[in-house]
Each structure stands twice: as C-alpha cells, then as structure tokens.
Structure 1
Amino acid sequence: MPKHFFVLGLDSLRLSFLRCVPDAGDYRFHPLFALEEVVNPMTFDYDAMLDIARQKLEAFPGPIAGIIGHWDFPTSVLLAHLSEIFGLRSASLEAVLKCEHKYWSRLEQRKLMPEWTPDFCAVDPFAENPLTQLTIGFPLWIKPIKAHSSYLGFRIENEVQFADALKKIRAAVHSCGDPFNQALAHIPVPDEVEDVDGNWCIAEEILTGKQCGIEGSLLDGEYRVHGIIDTVKDSKNLSFTRYEYPSVWPRHAQEKICEAGERLLRHMGFDNSAFGIEFFWDKRHDSFKILEINTRISQSHCDQFIKVHGVSNHQVPIDLAFGRIPDLSHYRGDYRTAAKFMLRRYRDTVLERAPTPAQIECVERDFPDSKIVITAEEGRSLSEQSMPDSYSFEIANIWLGAQSQHQLLEQYHQLADALEFRFGDDGVPEPFQFKCVRY
C-alpha cells in the first residue's frame, strides 16, 4: 500500500526533488495549498488557512503518513500546527513559534549562549519616537519579527536611514505580521515577549565574517546533522549570491556550530522535526554568532543534496515520519560539490525580455544536470517582485554541480553569460566573478 504525504506549496520543481528519494514509487505526494498561497503571498489569513487545511486532511480517505514543508512561514508553522492536530510526528507548535519569533528566539539564545548571541533590542515601528527604543548603536540591522529572504531588512548607518527604513516597514509589515499574530494566539506567550508581536521589529548588531548553515533533525531526542551548507553573500555582505554544499569551512568550525545547534535546540524544547540553523564565523577572532533558527529543511538545498548524495533532503522528513534516524551519508551522487546561485541586479528597471523556455533548455543541455528558473517577470519592474531583497533584485536561480569549487564557479560564470536578458536600462545581470574559498 502506498504511503501518503501532504506537501505544503507543492509545485512541479519541488515534486521532481521529492521523487529523488529511495523508494519514491511507494509514496504519494499530495499538494496542500498552491505554491503562491504559501510562498510570498501579499497577505493572508492564518486561521482561515488552518481551517482549510484541516478540512482537506480530514476528508482524505486513507491514513496520512506525514506532512512535509520546505518553505518559511506560514508553511513552517502550519506544518507543526496540523501535525499536532492530527497526531503526526513533529516539533510542537510552541517550540516552532519560539524559534521563529525573532525577538523571543534571541531572548532564549541569550539565556543559554550569551557569547553566541548578537546584541539586540525590540523596536515598535509605530511608536511615537522609535529611536528612543534603541539600546545599540549604529551601524545596525533592523528587520521585522517575522519575515524571510531579507524582506524589509535594512542595514542602518544613521538616524536618517533609520527613519526611512521604518517608513517602508510600517507600510508593509502587517502582510506577514498580522497572520503571525494569529498563529501566536494559539499558544501561551511569556510576559517578556507578549507585547512584542509580529508587527514589531528587532534591531541587531552587524555580524561580520562568513555565514554557514547546518541542516539536521531530532528524533525522540537523538540529534543528527545531515549537511553543512555555506551561505555566500556579495562583496558588500548585503545580498545572498549562492548556497554551496558541502561547506568549505575548517573542521573545527563545523564541529563548533554542530555542537551549538544541539545545545540550542534542546534548550528550545525542539524535537521530532528537521531544522536549519545559520551561523556567522569571524575567522580573525575564531568567534561565532547565531543568525537564525529555521524549523524545516530548505527547498533551496534539495538539488545540492541530490547532486552530492543522490538523494533530496526530503528524505529527512520522510524518515522522521516513519521513526527512522536520517543519515544521508549512506548515499552517493555524481558530484563532489553543488550550489544554488541567485543571479541578481542592483538597479531597478523593467525586464523587457527574459530567456525563452527553448533558450533555457538549450543552455541546460550545454551544462548537464543544471537547472535554471527565471524569477523575475517579463514586462514588469524588478521592484514589483513579491517580497524583494532590500538591496538587490533576484533575476534567476541556477543550480549546478561539479567536481571542484573552481569548476563549479567557472561553469556558473559561463552559464550566466549564456543567458540573454534585455532590460529597460540596457544593463545586464551581475554574475559576480567569484573566487575559490580556502581556509
């Protein structure tokens, strides 16, 4: 008998990833909400979505093995909430919200690991004088309590930039903040967090160094890391340019963040679920900081795991659903390294012409096992994208595998140059001349 899984925001690309798990023919993957309903919706009603999902799952005629999610809020929270309702294995709703509420999470991090926690403070963007709430000096980062992909996140150098950023935040923060508040209403929230809701912001010190993330899981208290992925930003340290797997960090640094992740998640009461935690490492001082906790696998990493291990990281939530400890080291892929690249532009303009499907197919044939997804919409300004980065505009996602980092970066430069875009300002995408990283 096939085992049935519901997948939040399932589309054809992510379905192809799911089919790259062993015994995929034994599973049936059913969509729960359309992609656009859970990924960057302009606004949504969390409780209404919860009711719709509950009704759909209740109406399913057979047993449900589990619910799979690989997107940020609302997916990550709906997954825990629905699993709790239907008795499926998952971290508790309270533990998930504790990790995802940026201020609450920082408070807990500071209690356990103060030396790993950046300085921070809560800011009400609707206060009469938000500047008086700052307890840290410039420069700093400010971002909403609940957001993702750098949306409404700003580096602030002075009071003028602070005021300008808050103006932009006030205009858009409710789109995610209001539904996040609906989710928070389902759990008890401690007094120290209660007033800082989803429409508040958190200001934090600027983190320096290199960024890296661990993906792993806990099953009945047993902690396991299945992958360590480097998150590479541009030369200004503002926008993401690629996720590279496996990490090239030195072993001692990788061991440090793996140990820190275990301490942190146990403190949070997080169990029976997959996770991802991002860290910064300052090589000069050999010091580490926690960036954020994600309560899910990342769909951005699926293809890298397929290329390196021959299996998608979707194998992790599937294993957890059946009470198996995930271990991707058993699998072998065709490549030694792989990455997802984000092709960007830094100036707003109209995308007049993007590569056609036939042109993309031709480029993909020239670069075996590559995947290209155009993320900007032809005929529209780049700034009209849903939830854009505050400093740049994503044009395309490009997945590649190679036998070395040097080969990986060379192939990316060649592939990016082969994509024909036309913009209203006659500019071109910025493929970045990346250099190999060695420690």
Structure 2
Amino acid sequence: MTKNVFVIGLNDHNAERLKRLRGVEDVEFHQLLTPAQVSDTQDFDIPAMLDEARGTLDAFGGSIDAIVGYIDFPVSTMLPILCREYGTKQTSLEALLKCEHKFWSRSVMREAIPDHIPKFTAFDPFDDDALSKIGEADLRFPFFVKPIKSSGSRLGFRIDSPEDFDFAIEKLRAEIRTIGEPFDHVLAQADLPEDIRAVEGHYCMAEQVIGGRQCTVEGYVHDGNVVPYGTVDSIRYPQVLSFFYYLYPSTLPARVQQKMWEITRTIMGHIGYDNAGFNIEYYWDEVQDRIWLLEINTRIAQSHCDLFEMVDGVSHQQVTIDLGLGRAPDMPRGEGPESVAAEFFYRVFFRDARVARIPSAAEVQVAAETVEGARIVSYVSKNMMLSELPEQDAYSYAVASVWMGAGKQSKLLWNYEQVMKKLNYEFADIVE
C-alpha cells in the first residue's frame, strides 16, 4: 500500500534525490508549500503558510503518512505544529524550542552539560542600556551576539568594541523583526516556562567567544534512542567567520569525535527530543583540549546531503523520511563511491555589489564536468544586488556552492580550484 509523504519546500533536485533512498519503493512524495514560500524569501508569514499547508492536506484524498522537512526556519518550527494536528511522527514543539530558542537552549544545556557551554545572557536590542546589562552578566569584550532565533549565520556578529556593538545593533534593529515576529507566533503555540516566555522573538543572545576546530555532529532520536551517525568538519576562510567548505568525514581525532557523540547523547536525552533528526555544531579547542557546544539545529543539514550520498551511499534524508514514517533509519556507512566529499562556498567579501556577469548554463555545465560527479549551484542572477540574497552571514556573500567527492582531501581542494577557473563572475558598484 502506497505511503504518502509530504515534504515542506520540496524542489525538483531533492525530489530526484529522495527517489534514491532505501525502502521508498512504496512511498509517494508530495510537495507541501513551495521553495519560494519557505526558503527563497525573507518574508515569513507563518499563519498564512500553516493555513495553506492545512488546506493542501485537508484536500488530499489519500492517507497522510508523514510530514517532513529538512530546511531551517520557518519549516523546522512548522513541522511539530502540523504533525501534531495530523497525527504523524515528529518531536514535540516544546522539545524543538528547547533547541531552537537559543536562550532556552543554553539554559537546558547549563543543567546537563555545564562544562561545554560559554557564559551567556539574553538582551533586547531595542534597549539603549543593553551593552551595560551585558557587562553586568559578566561578559567582557570580545563577545558574540546573535538573535535568539536565526538561520544560518544571519545577523551574527563578533563584538570587540563599543563601536562594533553599535554597528551590530543598527543591523539587528533594522532586520531582526523579520524573524522575531513570526517566531513569536510559534512561541505562542507552545507551553513555555515564564522566564522563557519573557524572552521574546526579537531578543538576542550575547555569548563568550569560543573557538577552535569547528564541526557538526549529525544525529537522530528514534523512540528515545539518541544516535549520532556522522561528523562533518566546517572549515572557514582564513581570518574571517565565513565558511569555506564542509568536509566529510571529519578529520578530528577519534577520541574527540567520540566525546562529542557522548555529549550529544546526554543533551538530546535531557531535552526529551524524539523521533526527528538534528545536528549539533561543536568546537574543539586543541590548546585547552576542551569541547564547546555552539548550537543545536532541529533538522538534518541539507548542505550535507550530497556528502553523505557520495561517501555513505545515500543522502541522510534517509533519516528524515524513515523517522517521519515511524521506522528506525536505515542509514548505511561507507557504501558510496568516494572516500571524502565537500561542499565549497565561493564567496565575495563586499558590503554590497551589483552582479555584472554570471556564468552561462553551458559554462556551469563545462565546469561541473571538470570533476566527475561534481554539482554546482549558483545563487545569483545578473544585475541583482548581493544584499538581495537571503540567509547570508554578516561578513560575506555566498555566490555559488560546489559539491564534489575525491579519494583524499588534498585532491578535493585541487579539484575545486580547477572548477572555479572555469566560472567567471563579475561585480560592479562595489561597496567595500
């Protein structure tokens, strides 16, 4: 009997990828809301999205066996609401918010894994005395600020001086309500402790600066069993906060990875997160031999899908689909054609610029053919302003991504250089 799985924001590329998963011969995938509505935009009208999704589901004539997604806000926060209403598997809204509400998340981490988190406090960016209150919380320069709910590295800033803080506050005040207000709608659906309810969707976090070698542990919880299944390194451009590439498998020492997996089991069990995928970002400070937990994301990382498929044999969307259908994930290991795989980010470090030239479709195809199995996605169009790109960090713009596999890491880097030599982007009206 056919099982019907509704995927929020499903696009053509992922529809093809889902067909290659294990055990989906009797599964039919349906799009629920379009990518334009949930990811290619910065306008998140969650009540309208939920109403449209309900309309689609109510009008469907067959069984609704799973409702899933693998995109960050707003998709991640809508899933528990829809799954609760339609009786499909997913973690509770409260457990999800203990991960996604950054102040609540740090608060529960302090209960379970206090040795692996930095000093932190919440603050209102519209409070003119915010900087002094951060100081009263025993946070000194440098520190990091970010929204209590964001996606990617959007609106995250390192603060080394009062001037840095003023710059960050100006940006936060201008943009934070685009996420803060829809997040408030989600918070209103949940049973929150009073101290958490007081920290509204437009609030921000200030945290002690932590660092080291960064990575992401991908995992899931099935019927209370916490299962980490892979670690992906996050390599940054030199001297900046922007990511250069994600590398799988991780090159961190095995003992460090095992300790991260142990911390992962502890915190996810403490939160009560269940029947859903997640990933946790960590730092390993080599000098102090200390592991820091940066944040928990309540979904698989979509950027890592190709990496798992190249190295392990299937995209880790396998986890999302299996859990949505109420079954233990059938995630293989080491059954792919490559030993290592990476997603590279081609970035420009302007404050803004106009895209004067992009590679043609034919040029992109020729570049991709330079390396067997490579995939290239360009995020810009001719004459657009880089500031129109959604979900960017505060220091650069990701113009394109390149996914590829190889037999070793050094070959990956060489192959990336060969591909980029064939991709010609040009920019005008540059604001440095």
- TM interval, shorter chain, is over 0.9
Alpha-carbon displacement from aligned partner over 1:313-353 (angstroms, at most 9, x marks no partner)? 11112222343322423561110110111110102322111
1:397 maps to which of 374, 395, 401 = 401
Q: Is residue 413 of structure 1 aligned with residue 417 of structure 2?
A: yes
* Whole-angstrom CA distance in 2 between matches of 1:321 and 1:71: 15
1:237, distance to aligned residue in structure 2 (A): 4.2
Q: 1:426–1:205: structure 2 CA closer, same or farther, 3 Å change rule?
A: closer
- Secondary structure of residue in 2 paired with 1:4: strand
2:219 maps to which of 213, 216, 221 = 216
1:206 maps to which residue?
209
Q: 1:188–1:177: structure 2 CA closer, same or farther, 3 Å change rule?
A: same
* Whole-angstrom CA distance in 1 between matches of 2:246 and 2:98: 26
1:45, distance to aligned residue in structure 2 (A): 2.0
CA contact (8 A) 1:224 1:326 kept: no
CA contact (8 A) 2:33 2:52 kept: no
CA contact (8 A) 1:47 1:183 kept: no
Q: 1:331–1:249: structure 2 CA closer, same or farther, 3 Å change rule?
A: closer
CA contact (8 A) 2:145 2:207 kept: yes
Matches within 5 A, 1:104-123: 104-123=104-123
* Whole-angstrom CA distance in 2 between matches of 1:322 and 1:351: 43
2:266 maps to which of 263, 266, 269 = 263
1:38 maps to which residue?
38
2:80 maps to which residue?
80
1:108, distance to aligned residue in structure 2 (A): 0.8
Alpha-carbon displacement from aligned partner over 1:223-270 (angstroms, at most 9, x marks no partner)? 212211111111124011111111111100000110101110111110
Q: Unmatched 5+ residue regions in structure 2?
A: none
* Whole-angstrom CA distance in 2 between matches of 1:381 and 1:73: 24
2:249 maps to which of 246, 251, 269 = 246
1:294, distance to aligned residue in structure 2 (A): 0.8
- Secondary structure of residue in 2 paired with 1:64: coil
Matches within 5 A, 1:149-164: 149-164=152-167
1:366, distance to aligned residue in structure 2 (A): 2.0
* Whole-angstrom CA distance in 1 between matches of 2:380 and 2:287: 38
1:128, distance to aligned residue in structure 2 (A): 2.9
Matches within 5 A, 1:337-356: 337-347=340-350, 348-356=352-360
Q: 1:166–1:40: structure 2 CA closer, same or farther, 3 Å change rule?
A: farther
Instruction: Answer with 232-241 or 254-263: which moved more.
Output: 232-241
Read off the aligned partner of 2:363 and give its amino acid letter: Q
Q: Is residue 299 of structure 1 aligned with residue 337 of structure 2?
A: no
Alpha-carbon displacement from aligned partner over 1:27-74 (angstroms, at most 9, x marks no partner)? 211111111211152222222222221221122111122122111111
Q: Is residue 132 of structure 1 aligned with residue 136 of structure 2?
A: no
1:92 maps to which residue?
92
- Secondary structure of residue in 2 paired with 1:73: coil
1:227 maps to which of 223, 226, 230 = 230
1:434 maps to which residue?
none
Instruction: Answer with 230-239 or 202-211: which moved more.
Output: 230-239
1:4 maps to which residue?
4
Task: Name the % identity.
Answer: 40
* Whole-angstrom CA distance in 1 between matches of 2:124 and 2:257: 36
* Whole-angstrom CA distance in 2 between matches of 1:110 and 1:345: 37
1:426, distance to aligned residue in structure 2 (A): 9.4
Q: Is residue 187 of structure 1 aligned with residue 190 of structure 2?
A: yes
Read off the aligned partner of 1:398 and give its amino acid letter: V
CA contact (8 A) 2:405 2:412 kept: yes
2:279 maps to which residue?
276
Q: 1:147–1:330: structure 2 CA closer, same or farther, 3 Å change rule?
A: closer
Instruction: Answer with 351-360 or 415-424: which moved more.
Output: 415-424
- TM-score normalized with structure 1 length: 0.94
Q: Is residue 320 of structure 1 aligned with residue 320 of structure 2?
A: no
Count matched residues: 427
* Whole-angstrom CA distance in 2 between matches of 1:423 and 1:25: 46
CA contact (8 A) 1:122 1:133 kept: no
Alpha-carbon displacement from aligned partner over 1:76-123 (angstroms, at most 9, x marks no partner)? 111121111111111101100121001110111112111111111111
Read off the aligned partner of 1:83 and give its amino acid letter: C
Give the superposed CA RMSD: 1.6
